[in-house]
Amino acid sequence: MNTQDIWNFITTQGVDFGIKLATAIIAWVIGRWLINLAVGLIGKGFERGGKIDATLAHYLKSIIAVVLNIVLILAILDIFGIRTTSFAALLAGAGLAIGAAWSGMLGNFAAGVFMQVLRPYKVGDFIQAGGVTGTVKELGLFGTTIVTPDNVTTIVGNGKVFGDNIQNYSALPVRRVDCVAKVANSVNPMDAIARLKPVLAAIPNVAQDPAPEVDILEFTPEGPKLAVRPYTHTDHYWQVYFDTNRAIVETFGSAGYPVPETPVVHRNI
């Protein structure tokens, strides 16, 4: 290519290319400014709402920024006359392939987003979810970290948590502690109930409303079985549980109740 050819190119197509280049630069600058403005406003909206976790808000802002930047790049390519339909189809196909390969992780992510919004539980709650019982340490985008009562850290995928039943023991002010006491057949169960109720009410951290419940649960060959059910906050569950069992032993021992004996079964050989 000689000087004349170069000059002819510049005079015939150079101006048009220069205009396209200047337009693309202006579009990029304005587009980036608008994207930053939009993402910033969305972030402030998340902060004002207060219902979306900071981690979720950060990821949502990142996803929105990436999508808007892809749209801006496609628009700039279109300014230069580059067909973006094939590029968009390729991008969509790649996204579909990645989505199929990472369907489990994307399912956990989607469930995590829903749980961040719906808030079936929060950090510090004692729950049963995904077959695991314990205290929530972290509600992440892909999994929930639960510390079990035996101090084991367990991470459960949000998809499994969200697709199963969730029991939140911390949602209400108090929960019921279930204990069982058995008395001998020679003992009047109503006397045992009358003795236990005031003792249960005096146990530390036992709620007064609702009041502790003591009643006959069932009859066995050894003697009546009593349902002993005080109420307490979930933070004090095990303390009240053990104190209740101790109170049963001490109360029945002070009353002189005999130990229920298993009846002897005679078999003919």
Q: What is the pLDDT of residues 22-69, one digit of tens each?
A: 888 888 888 889 888 888 888 787 777 666 666 566 666 777 887 888
- Give yes or no for a contact between 112 and 158, defined as CB atoms under 8 angstroms apart: yes
- Verify cis geometry, omega within 30 degrees of 0, for the bond prior to 198: no
pLDDT computed for residue 190 by the predictor: 94
pLDDT computed for residue 108 by the predictor: 78
pLDDT computed for residue 95 by the predictor: 59
Positions in the chain whose pLDDT score sits under 50: 101
Topology of domain 175-255, CATH = Alpha-Beta Plaits (3.30.70)
pLDDT computed for residue 88 by the predictor: 58
pLDDT computed for residue 204 by the predictor: 95
pLDDT computed for residue 122 by the predictor: 86
| Rounded Cα gap, residues 50 and 73, in angstroms | 33
Domain assignments of the chain as residue spans, ordered by start: 7-101, 120-168, 175-255
Topology of domain 7-101, CATH = Helix Hairpins (1.10.287)
pLDDT computed for residue 148 by the predictor: 93
pLDDT computed for residue 241 by the predictor: 96
pLDDT computed for residue 26 by the predictor: 86
- Give yes or no for a contact between 219 and 225, defined as CB atoms under 8 angstroms apart: yes
| Rounded Cα gap, residues 105 and 56, in angstroms | 16
Look at residues 173, 225, 181 and name the one whose alpha carbon lies nearest to residue 199.
181
Look at residues 174, 158, 175 and name the one whose alpha carbon lies nearest to residue 166.
158
Topology of domain 120-168, CATH = SH3 type barrels. (2.30.30)
**Cα distance from N-terminal residue to C-terminal residue, the chain:** 117
pLDDT computed for residue 253 by the predictor: 92
Secondary structure of residue 217 in the 3-state scheme: strand
**Kind and range of the H or E run holding 77:** helix 54-79
pLDDT computed for residue 85 by the predictor: 60
Record the pTM: 0.59
Radius of gyration of the chain from Cα atoms? 34
DSSP classification of residue 171: S
